[in-house]
Structure 1
């Protein structure tokens, strides 16, 4: 038993020793590998530091040499990555854009024509009314009483006249009696017709098709002839009125083509200038322009509109985007590309409309303009055009 125990003990000790040896070997290998990685990282950091210092020295030296030798600076300048576009050549049009308002030639105040108390108000604000439709009633009791009295007098005068006429035909009586009876009858007929006209005027009617904008009278209110009762706007004979700056005097005239748009309903159409004012408003230095409107179902009085009136046109013009035009003390310029370099080209600008400008001098339309990157380049900069 002792012998077996010793054998087992020896085997265990050998196995344990082997494991310890393996562990020590692994630890030693790991430490060696870690030390080698640290050395390489330190070496890389040192090289990067040296490279950065060297780059700074190179850049500083290049700047010093460029100051002494400008050609060296141009030759060693880095190329700027850009994109290019071509100027467009074609028709150029300029428009005057002004805001206008839709008005109606039939914008009136409806007033009472007779005195009396309002007995009924039929029309309400926003109501569509046809021509001749009753909008309000004024008390006509006194007029009706006068009509009844005159009617009775007329009946009697008619009987007297008929008798005098028969006698006169029989050559009985005098001519004066006949003429008096006739005059009496005709006078009463005219009085009755006048009273009937007054009675008809107690009914306030719409003078044309339109819309009741406001009601200015109340039930039971006493009105006089000329008292405003309704503001009434017709649905026809609409026009647009706009204030145009005095600098366009002589440019805009009657009959000119004009495009009108209504932002609220997203509609537009072409028409013509129907009238041009001849008086300058001293408050805002503008004059009136009227533009005729056809009958449009969705256009209402007081609606806001935008007028585009053409005031300039050229069949062949060189056009460039506005954002490419720069300016210095000498004037306006753009950058063009020639032989791999950006060149400053001074220009003379004509009219500008929206995002395009007419170039009257400096460009022929065959040049290549610097587009993206135009603010990073200068005169004689080396450029690379992006594919």
Structure 2
């Protein structure tokens, strides 16, 4: 125990000595690090200053010292390019008619309602025809008597009894009553308003108990066959669009799309909006109804061997349109002649052959002759 206590002060002294030496070593290293960092900052500043001076004095040095821009590329190729005029149209029916009363009388019944779909011959309304029915009864009684008299007079005439005038008068009276009866029955039929064809009752303009006259409007009726699409086209396309041109039609409300054609082109320009009418043939389709919205893509241009590039890659300056072509690790500014554009694709008429690689991602960060590095895609 005494031996341990005798060496304790010596041990403490050695520990304290090593601790001081370690502290001095750490502080020295920190100081050395700060000194080196300051030197790096100073050297970098000197390098940047010298590079800037050289880039002003030597353009070739400036090109060689440009930083490489990381990009992706897009291939150009030849393909069929089609341009379409996109317009909004509406489904209409050639059987859009106004149904009016053909006889006078009070409206007794209106089975039809707005929006109702009916078949040809279904009753839409009934008009009071009591007076007509009474006239029919009277004429039928008179015709019965006239037939009897005519038959008797005919037999007498065949027996050469009586005069020819008596026979002709009896015949004329009978035939006149027959014509009157047919006319009254026709009027009776017209007191029942029927659907002229399969379709939909758009509007009902008559009310129960209302007194109508011949020609009074009663219903707006739209047939479900003979549908077509009508759209307004800018006058800029006069002479460009023609009858028979291809049309893609989509119906957003039902999610359907069809291929059809232009069936008619209007002959006049609307002075209010400077457009002309275009009619597009519409085949029979389920769920397509009159007044439904339709989106029309009418093809007005086609190039089977066009160089096509994404529209976003075509830039412009005071000289014209250009793209950046990747060649030998550099982005080369290449001027082109732009054609038509449709759905984010642009036709290139001149400047590209169709086998180039264009700067895609990063095209706004590069300039002419910039060094580029192509990223792995």
Shared topology, TM-score over 0.5?
yes
1:346 Cα offset (Å): 0.7
- In structure 2, relative to structure 1, the CA distance for the partners of 1:30 and 1:177 (3 Å cut) is farther
Give the 3-state SS of the residue equivalent to 1:157 in structure 2: helix
Q: Which runs of 5+ in 1 are unaligned?
A: 1-11
1:302 Cα offset (Å): 0.8
Deviation digits for residues 295-328 of structure 1 (CA, Å, limit 9, x no counterpart): 1011111111111222111221211111111111
Give the 3-state SS of the residue equivalent to 1:347 in structure 2: strand
CA distance in 2, matches of 1:30, 1:75: 54
Q: Aligned residue for 1:242?
A: 231
Give the 3-state SS of the residue equivalent to 1:40 in structure 2: helix
1:71-90 matches, within 5 Å, as 71-90=60-79
Q: Aligned residue for 1:311?
A: 300
**Match of residue 207, structure 1, among 184, 196, 217:** 196
Give the 3-state SS of the residue equivalent to 1:296 in structure 2: coil
1:164 Cα offset (Å): 1.9
Q: Say whether 1:256 aligns with 2:245.
A: yes
Q: Which runs of 5+ in 2 are unaligned?
A: none
CA distance in 1, matches of 2:292, 2:20: 87
Coordinate RMSD, CA, aligned: 2.3
**Match of residue 281, structure 2, among 268, 286, 292:** 292
- In structure 2, relative to structure 1, the CA distance for the partners of 1:115 and 1:37 (3 Å cut) is farther
1:36 Cα offset (Å): 4.3
Give the 3-state SS of the residue equivalent to 2:285 in structure 1: coil
1:177 Cα offset (Å): 1.8
- In structure 2, relative to structure 1, the CA distance for the partners of 1:94 and 1:20 (3 Å cut) is farther
Tell me the TM-score normalised to structure 2 length.
0.93
* Bigger shift: residues 365-374 or 347-356: 365-374
Q: Aligned residue for 2:207?
A: 218
Q: Say whether 1:324 aligns with 2:313.
A: yes
Q: Aligned residue for 2:158?
A: 169
Tell me the TM-score normalised to structure 1 length.
0.90
Which portions of structure 1, spanning 4 or more consecutive aligned residues, are displaced by more than 4 angstroms? 12-36
State the structure with more CA Rg.
1
Q: Aligned residue for 1:366?
A: 355
CA distance in 1, matches of 2:8, 2:291: 101
1:149-168 matches, within 5 Å, as 149-168=138-157
CA distance in 1, matches of 2:344, 2:121: 53
Q: Aligned residue for 2:46?
A: 57
CA distance in 2, matches of 1:154, 1:256: 63
CA distance in 2, matches of 1:359, 1:196: 74
Q: Say whether 1:379 aligns with 2:347.
A: no
1:27 Cα offset (Å): 7.2
CA distance in 2, matches of 1:178, 1:156: 15
- In structure 2, relative to structure 1, the CA distance for the partners of 1:179 and 1:262 (3 Å cut) is same
